[in-house]
């Protein structure tokens, strides 16, 4: 496997973390811990080009997150961004993200890209996350996501 020229790809989309409603995409595995610390949630969140749920779907964020801090609502988060858009150049490829996500921090949060498959084989880079909207009653959130991935 001789390395080819490395390139940088920028991807921009939104993921929808839906804990409530008719089409739940995030399922707490232990919904009633004494406090939020230790709560684990499995996800299969749609990825869309625009913040509206009915906009063009390009894939899904599959993985889990857990509340890993006693002093703030901060997640340890493992997501595979799975690209499924029909006819898209990234169809069947994934980008894997693993890291710390302090979800109520102001501004943009950053997490590392730790790998990928298909077009994104040997991926490395970073992800910028910014909460687009959050419903305090339902817990539903829309998160703007920018991936900057180096790959071959």
For the domain bounded by 7-151, which CATH number is listed? 2.40.480.10
* Mean pLDDT confidence for 22-32: 90
pLDDT beyond 70 at 84:
yes
* Number of neighbouring beta carbons within 10 Å of residue 152: 14
pLDDT beyond 70 at 3:
no
pLDDT band at 26 (very low <50, low <70, confident <90, very high): very high
Return the SS3 of 26: strand
Cβ within 8 Å of residue 65, ≥6 positions away: 40, 41, 43, 75, 76, 77, 78, 79, 101
Whole-structure pTM value: 0.92
């Amino acid at each position: 496997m001789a390395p080819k020229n490395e390139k940088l790809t920028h991807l921009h989309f939104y993921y929808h973390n839906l804990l409530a409603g008719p089409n739940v995409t995030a399922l707490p595995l232990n919904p009633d811990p004494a406090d939020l610390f230790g709560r684990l949630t499995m996800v299969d969140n749609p990825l869309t080009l625009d913040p509206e749920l009915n906009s063009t779907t390009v894939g899904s964020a599959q993985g889990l997150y857990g509340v890993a801090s006693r002093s703030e609502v901060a997640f340890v988060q493992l997501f595979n961004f799975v690209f499924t858009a029909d006819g898209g150049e990234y169809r069947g490829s994934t980008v894997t993200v693993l890291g710390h996500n302090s979800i109520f921090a102001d501004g943009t949060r950053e997490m590392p890209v730790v790998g990928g498959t298909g077009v994104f084989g040997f991926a490395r880079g970073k992800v910028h996350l910014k909460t687009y909207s959050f419903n305090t009653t339902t817990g539903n959130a829309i998160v703007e996501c920018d991936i900057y991935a180096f790959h071959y």
